[in-house]
Amino acid sequence: MEAGAADEERPLIQHLPPEEQCSQYTCDGTVNSDKKPALKQSTGNWRACFFILGAQFAETLCFFMVSKNLVTYLTSALHESNIDAAQSVSIWIGTSFFTPLIGAFLADTYWGRYWTTPCIPAFGADQFDSADPGDRLAKGSFFNWYYFSMNVGSLLSTTLLIWVVANIGWSVGFAIPMLLSGFGLALFFAGRKVYWYKKQGGSPLTRVSQVVVAAVRNHRLKLPDDSSLLHEVSKVTEDDYRTQLTTQFRFFDKAAILSDGISPAQWSPWRLCTVSQVEELKMLLRMFPVWVSMVVFFVVTAQITSTLIEQGMAMDGRVGPFTLPAASIATFDVISVLVWVPVYDTVLVPLARRVTGKDRGISHLQRIGVGLALAAVAMAYSAVVEARRLGTAPAPASIMWQAPSYLVLGVAEAFSVIGMMEFFYEQSPEPMKSLCTALGQLAIAVANYLNSGVLSVVAAATTRGGGAGWIPDNLDEGHLDYFFWMMALEQCSQYTCDGTVDIDRRPALKHSTGNWRACFFILGAEFTQCLCFSAVVKNLVRYLTSVLHESNVNAARSVSTWIGTCFFTPLIGAFLADTFWGRYRTIVICLSVYTIGMLILTTSASLPFLLHDSYNNGDDIRRVVAYLGLYLIALGAGGIKPCMSALGADQFDGADPVERVTKGSFFNYYYFSNNMGTLLSTTVLVWVQDNIGWGLGFATPMLLMGFGLSMFVAGRRVYRYRKLGRSPLTRVSQVVVAAVRNHRLKLPEDSSVLHELPSPTKGGYRIQHTARFRFLDKAAIPSDSDDNSPAQPNPWRLCTVSQVEELKMLLRVFPMWASLLVFFVVTAQMSSTLIEQSAAMDGRVGPFTVPPASLATFNVVAVLIWVPVYDAVLVPLARRATGNDRGLSHLQRIGVGLALSAVAMAYSAQVERRRRRPAAEEEAMSIMWQAPCYLVLGMAEVFTSIGMLEFFYERSPGSMKSLGTSLAHLAVATANYLNSGVLGVVVAATTRGGGAGWIPDNLDEGHLDYFFWMMALGHVLYANRNISFNHGMLIPTISASILVHLHLFGIHCVAVYHGLYLVSFGTGGIKFCTSAFRADQFDLADPLETNKKCSSLILQLLLLLDQHRIPAISNCASLGVGQHWLGGQILMSLCIAVFVAGRRVYKSNKPDEESLVKTMVYSALLESKHFAGHSQCNEHHVECSILPQPQRCQSPNTMKSLSFVLGQLGIAAGNYLNSSILSIVVVMTRRMMGLAWVDPIQPK
């Protein structure tokens, strides 16, 4: 277990120490805007990050202006149904986070990160010298502030812009973020002189492809035992790097095998790759499991823009004299992020660092795990709120009940998303920084697509038999709480030494480039981007339904599809950034495309004013223009989302311990800025869209987007830029090809025989060889005919160990990516079903009317609060406990987010259930009942989304940071697409027989709470796939206390027996080991202790067992069923804590032989009649005398635990015999009485 933990925390990239100290110039290969070595004193660092963060702020402002209110726009303006709107939002968000893959590829291959907008995170990270300890620490904080700027933009989107939409109009609501997007573009350009630029290299896809091809070609070659025999270039420039050979994916090592008698110069790169090239592919492969797990988290966060918005629409939005829009509740999510990012970075990280001794406080996986757990909690809370809302019908439920869900989701985002971004950037190959950074965006995209599919499945499944379904248009008739429960159940010197350069392509100077001075620009740009995105997505359903007159189902489906596209395109943007453009250039280009998309969207909302009534088929024209603008936004987001975080992480020097620690905080504040934009979108912009007009509501974030672009460009002089290498996909492909080519070669026992390059110069690194995916190691096996000192081998036949390990890294992150799909399906509800639920509720809060999309403000508020708290408080505390620099690992942080997302879905289901009760008496439930759901989802996002971003960034190969980060966006995209599909399936299934279904246009006739319960239940079931004894006690607790509300026959029983047999399995290692382990604490050589062992021990054990029966019986008699199981869960948790507390004073016996083998020896001795005397017994460690004392005192020394089992087996045999006798008696009695064997089951 310790070895597994150590392997989990081991960095996927091992940077080699620089050969010489750098002084005034960066040591990581970055250059300035003039292509000269970057001076630290005038470029890069935080001076460049200001422009980058500013541009990110503008982009976030625009994005969330659209996304946070998109459900409302689709349902109100385009007249889509709730289910269609939720699906549409999920798909669009997924697409928006999928396109960054393209931008990352262009940034890493052709344009560079400056010219590629999706690479803002990677470009911001380039502003910090990885070779400088101080810059490395600062880079750790860059991602925190990058996310912070995103949330600042999101805050503005969920507040001001949503208000503009609600009170002025959609046109104004879309025009404002469009203008802001233009401002962000100008801001980004303004910093071009202070940015650090990474020199572009070859296409990362080409490098990966060469490894694959070379490995395939060399598949017949045998891997050498000495990994040093694998091909690696002998001389590299200071801008190059090497990756150490790992033992995983050994097949790809064959791409680096040198053939006998053939000079490497005669080989093409498609036949012989370097070890570093092979390890790049391995790194990508190892990152894939984490990327997959992050998809689960983003499925939960996808509920913020889907089902949570719909839930808020079905609640009473009146809060005092105000009326909150449903999308504005997401402000709590943004506020949570904005609060928790600084707290995490300034409080939690230092505290956790003291405890764990790690620079980041907690690891990436721990951070992501916390976010996943919080996301599950948020979904469970939303399910409870929805059930309560349905239960209080016809009295309206206040929308503020959703605030806790958004707050929790904000905390989850602060943990998971930032952690994911940093992970993908840190662990990606150097030529693929932008591409791997886009993996986080890809996870969001996949999660949104998945969320869309889940919504379709839920709608189809719950509308069978003519029922209204879980998520009908009238949520009072549905069971959105069930959907939420389902989601809850699913979830060194003056120059940088890491190869970064300034804008002039000179080595980046630490004191003038990178670090936080560059991150401010990046976070600002991210803030505006998130503001614009939230301004669109949070109210898009309402725009589609009200303006474009789409049905609720079509609007939800369209939004889910669009969101999925937004988070799917980051794969493209990451590829472009890592291969062609670089992160900075990719960000600039895509920010421009983003601004154009906002302009077109604003035009669609302003067509009636521009053309008056002189045209026919107005809705068709507006629909075409609107979707054109939306998907241009998705395309632009594809270059922004993966590259912005990767660029921000590039601003910190990975070779500098100080900057390496600071980089851990960057992802927190990156997500914080993201939620700030969301907060503004879900409050101001959503209100503008609902009360002023859609034109102004879209124009405002458009202008802010332009401001973010200008802010981002303004920091170009202080940015640190990564020099582009070969295509990361090419490197990965080379490993695969080489491994396939060498598949017939035998892997050497000594991994040092595998091909690897000599020690690189400063800024270079090698990836250590790992034992997993051994087949890929064949890509680095030099053939017998290869020359021992190759000059230029064919990279498609022989790859380096580092190149193979890069592919392994990508493969290892895939399970994590898949698990995050469930989370993002849940979060996709915030832009679909939750918006539709909010629309069905009373939005009056005092004298104000809250737009449904504005409820997402609570989600943002939760994120804004929890990100600083996590960074400043939880991380330092966790660091002390775990010894991890990050406090919590990525997986732990993501796990917390998943749990919170399940809670949020459960709460939303309860709210929907309660909302439907007042609906029967024509009295709307307050929209503020949705607030807790948004708060919990915000907390879940802080854990899962940030942890996911940091995980993907850290675990992606050095040349694939943008691609690795884009996996997170791909998870969001997939979740939104899945959400759209789920909505379609739910509608199809629940509307069979002519019923209204779960999510009809009139939610009062449906069962949106069923949909929420389904989401929460699926989340919990996914999160509990690996369970210990303590988790087993959790299952009956949930089944008795929570699932009893489901009213679905069979689920309660399955949960009960699942938990019971997990408890039984756990007791298998407790009952006999407890007494045996306690007896081990006495010394056999001491007569006094021996007497205590064999006499008083047994009496004390029996007395202890009888004493435990007293509180157990008392609990059964005095407590309810749910309270009784909860008490057992608490006692079991306390038992584990007490037992572990004494681990340092225990005595333990090491087993020397297998107990079953000894038993066979004894049997053989008896059969051969050699077991004749007591002396022979002693020779074989056997006590022949049988005494009436327990077996523990007379058993063989090495079989104490096994022999004690005999007494337990007797009890078990007696119970099985008793059960058999009872069954026989029942069957015989029924036969005699002429009754059926089994009574028909009547579900309650």
Closest C-alpha to 146, from 674, 774, 512, 621 = 674
1055's tokens = 């949960």
Total H helices, total E strands in the chain: 51, 23
How many CB atoms lie under 10 A from the CB of residue 1231? 10
Query: What φ, ψ does residue 174 adopt, rounded to 5°?
Result: -85, -30
CA–CA separation, 497 and 932 (whole Å): 46
Closest C-alpha to 524, from 587, 570, 577 = 587
CA–CA separation, 441 and 434 (whole Å): 11
pLDDT of residue 906: 82
Which range, of 22-36, 373-387, 412-426, averages the lowest pLDDT? 22-36
Q: Dihedral through CA 979, CA 980, CA 983, CA 988, nearest 10?
A: -140
CA–CA separation, 32 and 35 (whole Å): 5
H or E element that contains 1031? helix 1029-1041
Cβ pair 423, 951 in contact under 8 A = yes
In three-state secondary structure terms, 717 is strand
Q: Give residue 107's pLDDT band: very low, low, confident or very high (50, 70, 90).
A: low
Of all residues in the chain, the percent with pLDDT exceeding 90 is 0
Residue for token pair 């000079």: 263
Which residues 6+ apart lie within 8 Å of 592 measured at CB? 117, 185, 636, 709
Query: What φ, ψ does residue 750 adopt, rounded to 5°?
Result: -95, 115
Q: Give residue 1184's pLDDT band: very low, low, confident or very high (50, 70, 90).
A: very low
pLDDT of residue 226: 75
Instruction: Please compute the mean of the pLDDT values over residues 231-252 and round it to a whole number.
Output: 68
Answer yes or no: is pLDDT of 1078 > 60: no
751-771 per-position pLDDT tens digit:
777 877 765 544 455 777 887
Highest averaged pLDDT of the listed ranges 197-211, 557-571, 706-720: 706-720
How far CA 378 is from CA of 405, 407, 520, 931, 1194, in Å, comes to 5, 8, 30, 11, 54
Assign 3-class secondary structure to 560-628: HHHHHCEEEEEHHHHHHHHHCCEEHHHHHHHHHHHHHHHHHHHHHHHHHHHHCCCCCCHHHHHHHHHHH
Q: Work out the angle between the directed axes of helices 1121-1141 and 1097-1118 (0-180°, nearest 10).
A: 150
pLDDT of residue 1: 39
Q: With left for phi above 0 and alpha for psi between -120 and 50, is residue 761 left, alpha or beta?
A: beta
pLDDT of residue 763: 45
Task: Determine the Cα angle at 332 with ends 868 and 923, to 5°.
Answer: 160
The radius of gyration of the chain from alpha carbons, rounded to an integer in Å, stands at 30
How many CB atoms lie under 10 A from the CB of residue 1197? 11
pLDDT of residue 9: 44
How many CB atoms lie under 10 A from the CB of residue 1230? 14
163-189 per-position pLDDT tens digit:
777 778 777 877 877 787 777 778 777
Which range, of 157-166, 381-390, 529-538, averages the lowest pLDDT? 157-166
pLDDT of residue 288: 76
Q: Give residue 1032's pLDDT band: very low, low, confident or very high (50, 70, 90).
A: very low
Mean pLDDT, rounded, of the chain: 70
Which residues 6+ apart lie within 8 Å of 824 measured at CB? 294, 295, 296, 297, 298, 299, 300, 301, 302, 443, 444, 446, 447, 448, 450, 451, 567, 971, 972, 974, 975, 976
Length of the chain measured in residues: 1244
803-860 per-position pLDDT tens digit:
888 888 888 877 777 777 878 787 777 777 787 778 778 888 888 887 776 777 777 7
How far CA 274 is from CA of 268, 280, 579, 642, 751, in Å, comes to 11, 10, 18, 27, 15
Answer yes or no: is pLDDT of 1242 > 60: no
Highest averaged pLDDT of the listed ranges 583-587, 1081-1085, 1152-1156: 583-587
Q: Which residue has the higher pLDDT, 438 or 525?
A: 525
Q: With left for phi above 0 and alpha for psi between -120 and 50, is residue 779 left, alpha or beta?
A: alpha
Query: What φ, ψ does residue 9 adopt, rounded to 5°?
Result: -85, -10
Closest C-alpha to 415, from 9, 1016, 948 = 948
Q: Give residue 1140's pLDDT band: very low, low, confident or very high (50, 70, 90).
A: low
Q: Give residue 1112's pLDDT band: very low, low, confident or very high (50, 70, 90).
A: very low
Which residues 6+ apart lie within 8 Å of 1140 measured at CB? none
Helices (H), 999-1028: 1008-1023
Q: Which residue has the higher pLDDT, 208 or 1202?
A: 208
Answer yes or no: is pLDDT of 3 > 60: no
pLDDT of residue 553: 75
Q: What type of residue sits at position 337? A: V
130-155 per-position pLDDT tens digit:
777 777 767 767 777 777 777 777 77
CA–CA separation, 1134 and 1123 (whole Å): 16
How far CA 134 is from CA of 131, 430, 660, 716, 871, in Å, comes to 9, 20, 7, 21, 18
In a 13 Å sphere around the CA of 985, the CA atoms on its Cβ side amount to 18
CA–CA separation, 490 and 1018 (whole Å): 4
Answer yes or no: is pLDDT of 342 > 60: yes
In a 13 Å sphere around the CA of 501, the CA atoms on its Cβ side amount to 29
Answer yes or no: is pLDDT of 1050 > 50: no
CA–CA separation, 131 and 543 (whole Å): 49
CA–CA separation, 987 and 995 (whole Å): 10
Residue ranges covered by each domain of the chain: 52-125+132-183+314-503+512-706+821-1016, 1027-1145, 1175-1233
Highest averaged pLDDT of the listed ranges 100-114, 972-986, 1000-1014, 1136-1150: 1000-1014
pLDDT of residue 1027: 36
Closest C-alpha to 294, from 375, 350, 232, 221 = 375
In three-state secondary structure terms, 947 is helix
CA–CA separation, 228 and 245 (whole Å): 9
Q: Which residue has the higher pLDDT, 792 or 244?
A: 244
448-494 per-position pLDDT tens digit:
777 777 777 777 777 877 777 777 777 777 777 777 777 776 654 55
Write out the E strands in 910-966: none
Which range, of 82-86, 690-694, 1218-1222, 1239-1243, averages the lowest pLDDT? 1239-1243
Q: Give residue 1234's pLDDT band: very low, low, confident or very high (50, 70, 90).
A: low
Q: Which residue has the higher pLDDT, 257 or 262?
A: 257
Answer yes or no: is pLDDT of 353 > 70: yes
Cβ pair 859, 162 in contact under 8 A = no
Which range, of 613-627, 706-720, 892-906, 931-945, averages the lowest pLDDT? 613-627
CA–CA separation, 932 and 940 (whole Å): 12
Classify each residue of 1119-1136 as buried b or exposed e, where b means 16 or more C-beta atoms within 10 Å of its C-beta. Answer: eeebebbbbbbeebeeee
Closest C-alpha to 107, from 43, 210, 198, 211 = 198
732-750 per-position pLDDT tens digit:
888 888 888 888 888 888 7
Closest C-alpha to 242, from 256, 221, 259 = 256
H or E element that contains 30? strand 30-37
Instruction: Please compute the mean of the pLDDT values over residues 934-954 and round it to a whole number.
Output: 80
How many CB atoms lie under 10 A from the CB of residue 1176? 13
536's tokens = 């669109």
pLDDT of residue 263: 64
pLDDT of residue 1202: 42
pLDDT of residue 463: 80
344's tokens = 């995490």
How far CA 154 is from CA of 147, 671, 771, 904, 935, in Å, comes to 10, 10, 43, 20, 15
pLDDT of residue 1143: 57
Write out the E strands in 879-919: 889
Closest C-alpha to 198, from 666, 513, 423, 641 = 513
Helices (H), 779-928: 801-812, 814-827, 833-839, 858-869, 875-882, 890-920
Cβ pair 283, 768 in contact under 8 A = no
pLDDT of residue 1049: 37
